[in-house]
């Protein structure tokens, strides 16, 4: 007990560490309590955070700050319009088609597995086939309704849709334009001398910010490449599968493996055990290999050095707290947590040595 009490006294006697704890607790509590009410503002802050990198890149290459801001902002608006007009309608339509066709997919897969079991009874038992099909049928049958339910709950009315479609872009512009003034205003509530907090903030912007922006580029590149690939192969549900393939890069290690199942299921439902199915699966694996071995090293030259278990725990923790955005920012948030721990440890060690 004396060791623990001495650690608390040493830690809490440092005003910089206390300030860091207070800011972190306030941020977590504010998001947890007011997150739903401030969802448009939080979404605008996230988009502004992601767009700040391209603006800085253009500015460093000689563009005037306001010109760079307007150029990046117009590109952001263009992507939003393309998403709303060109991606969302076929995506919703294909979700409905997938829901309607899912019983046929399961029936065809059932026939194929039963035929395989008859040819190789020593490898696969009939009870195993029925168990697999029962679980697969439940997952496929629930996938479409979950997607529809999620989309309806996210935009439950025309009013909320207008709020997100109009208010968020406006707020993004002002967050980008008046970033310095807003950060200065927040800084007035904090002590002038705050080296630990500034260290964490600086490291978070450098590493977590670059990672989040790189991940957005990766999603867009992989999603577009997957859509072109599925269209060339004439694979059904090309938009739906392309969106799933693009989003699969959010979750390292497991995202690509998870999307393999729907791609294989759709290809088998469309072509059966044929060369077309084999070509589709080979093309999918080649796309994932190019992403992992070429695109990721190009986008993330300064990789976030975290242990795989730390990444998995971060995805589970932050995804459970904040849903999709928690999953998307799991690795940046883990990087922030790592920066906090490192700054805290350096501060306490420095204080102990000084003492």
Question: Is 151 a member of any domain?
Answer: no
- Helix or strand (DSSP H, E) at 161: helix 158-162
Length of the chain: 355
Q: How far apart are CA 129 and CA 123, in angstroms?
A: 11
Question: Is 56 a member of any domain?
Answer: no
Question: Is 90 a member of any domain?
Answer: no
Domains contained in the chain, number? 1
325: Cα separation from own chain's centroid = 6
Question: Is 336 a member of any domain?
Answer: yes
16 vs 80, residue with greater confidence? 80
- pTM of the predicted protein model: 0.72
Range list of H helices, 272-329: 275-290, 296-299, 308-328
- pLDDT reported for residue 347: 66
User: What are 254-261's contacts with CB under 8 Å, separation 24+?
Assistant: 256/288, 256/291, 256/292, 260/284
Can you give the residue range of the structural domain that contains 258?
1-33+194-355
Measuring CA to CA, which residue among 117, 87, 351 is closest to residue 219?
87
Q: How far apart are CA 153 and CA 165, in angstroms?
A: 16
Mean pLDDT of 1-12: 60
56-60, 238-242, 345-349, range with the lowest pLDDT: 345-349
Mean pLDDT of the chain: 78
Q: How far apart are CA 80 and CA 204, in angstroms?
A: 27
51-55, 74-78, 154-158, range with the lowest pLDDT: 154-158
Q: How far apart are CA 17 and CA 19, in angstroms?
A: 5
Question: Is 42 a member of any domain?
Answer: no
Query: Mapping DSSP to helix (H, G, I), strand (E, B) and coil, where does residue 21 land?
Result: helix
Matching residue, tokens 């263009």: 78
Matching residue, tokens 């109009």: 166
Residues 249/217, Cβ–Cβ less than 8 Å: no
What sign does the CA torsion over 90, 263, 149, 48 have? negative
Measuring CA to CA, which residue among 223, 211, 252 is closest to residue 50?
211
- pLDDT reported for residue 276: 92
Matching residue, tokens 């947590």: 337
Q: How far apart are CA 145 and CA 96, in angstroms?
A: 9
- pLDDT reported for residue 197: 76
Mean pLDDT of 29-46: 79
Question: Hey, how many other C-beta atoms are within 10 angstroms of the C-beta on 52?
Answer: 18
Tokens representing 148 are 């529809």
Question: Is 252 a member of any domain?
Answer: yes
Question: Is 78 a member of any domain?
Answer: no
Q: Per residue in 244-293, pLDDT tens?
A: 999 888 876 678 888 888 898 899 889 988 899 999 999 999 998 898 87
């Amino acid at each position: 007990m004396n060791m623990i009490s001495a650690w608390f006294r040493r830690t809490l006697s440092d005003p910089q560490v206390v300030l860091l704890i207070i800011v972190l607790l306030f941020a977590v509590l504010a998001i947890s309590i007011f997150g739903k009410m401030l969802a448009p503002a939080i979404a605008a802050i996230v988009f502004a955070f992601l767009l700040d990198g391209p603006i800085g890149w253009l500015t460093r290459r000689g563009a005037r700050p306001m010109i760079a801001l307007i150029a990046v902002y117009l590109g952001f608006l263009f992507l939003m319009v393309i998403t709303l007009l060109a991606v969302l309608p076929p995506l919703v339509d294909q979700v409905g088609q997938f829901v309607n066709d899912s019983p046929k997919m399961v029936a065809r897969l059932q026939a194929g597995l039963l035929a395989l079991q008859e040819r190789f009874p020593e490898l696969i038992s009939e009870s195993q086939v029925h168990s697999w099909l029962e679980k697969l049928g439940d997952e496929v049958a629930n996938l479409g309704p979950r997607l529809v339910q999620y989309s309806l709950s996210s935009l439950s009315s025309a009013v909320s849709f207008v709020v997100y479609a109009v208010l968020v872009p406006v707020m993004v512009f002002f967050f980008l334009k008046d970033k310095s003034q807003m950060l200065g205003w927040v800084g007035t509530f904090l002590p002038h001398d705050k080296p630990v907090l500034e260290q964490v903030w600086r490291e978070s912007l450098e590493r977590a910010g670059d990672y989040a922006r790189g991940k957005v580029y990766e999603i867009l590149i992989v999603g577009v490449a997957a859509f072109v690939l599925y269209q060339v192969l004439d694979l059904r549900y090309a938009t739906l599968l392309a969106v799933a393939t693009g989003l699969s890069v959010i979750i390292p290690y497991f995202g690509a493996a998870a999307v393999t199942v729907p791609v294989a299921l759709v290809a088998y439902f469309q072509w059966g055990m044929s060369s077309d199915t084999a070509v589709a699966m080979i093309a999918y694996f080649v796309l994932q290999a190019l992403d992992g071995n070429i695109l990721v090293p190009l986008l993330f030259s300064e990789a976030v050095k975290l242990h795989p278990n730390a990444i998995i725990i971060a995805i589970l923790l932050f995804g459970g707290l904040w849903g999709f955005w928690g999953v998307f920012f799991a690795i940046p948030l883990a990087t922030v947590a790592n920066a906090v721990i490192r700054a805290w440890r350096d501060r306490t060690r420095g204080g102990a040595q000084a003492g």
